[in-house]
A and B are shown apart, each in its own frame.
Chain A
Amino acid sequence: MSLAELLPKLQELNRSDKWHTVHFLIAELSQEEGIPFAHGATYPIWSPYDSYEAAATLMKVLHEEGPSYESG
């Protein structure tokens, strides 16, 4: 199966299966490139890189409460 055929099928996966796919690919690449991750282990990816709502919330708090925080 080519990548062009595979991508539409990946898009059909639910959120949980997409994350499993990401973890599977990371494990595969790590193994191929000799990065010493334990086979079958789970490694958390902490980075909240799609947290648009969280970013907007923090910006709002900074604008609303920041001035009084700095002067207080």
Chain B
Amino acid sequence: MPLPQAFFALIRRDLVLALRRRSEMINPLLFFILVITLFPLGIGAQPQLLKAIAPGIIWVSALLAAMLSLDSLFRSDFDDGSLEQILLSSHPASVLVLGKVIAHWLVTGLPLLIVAPLLAVFLGLPGHSVGILLLTLLLGTPVLSLIGAIGVALTVGLRRGGMILSLLVLPLYVPVLIFAGNAVEMAGTGLPVDAQINILISILLMALVLAPWPTAAALKMSIN
């Protein structure tokens, strides 16, 4: 099988598997909605305050939801041995890993984009910022999946990998959080956000090119 065909076959397989096990798709989404619901309950329902911190709330919740969903990225393939088969194939492991990450983002990242506008309206974010919020989520959540994949690949062989995963991954999420949160906040005050969006694009491109390498290396180490 040539490489592009193998790449798309892998994405297709992962999407079919995800459709058969819908809880993996739904759980991060429900978590995202729940966490955002908790904020007004915790800090009080003053519309001005909520509006001011809405970009931060939505982005931090997206970060946590993305991190929680990471475990399903390689877990079942690791348990049933198909991960070994993928790494043993004659194709470069980094490209196949990228296929798995893309499938994972389509299943767990994209749904966040669909519910985010609704939650943004709940929190009182003005209409113009909602568009920017969607744009930052579209550019930012794939980065979360790509960087997160490195962390899961390092910990997939461990029995108690969950806690350590957050310690590995969350510090690396900081730049995305800063630029995305700031872009939405600036958009709310009517300032231009081109710089932040451009930086997010460059972070995404860099993550697309660089992140699959350490992920593949870490997976080879983990199945050792």
The reply to whether chain A is a binding partner of chain B is: no
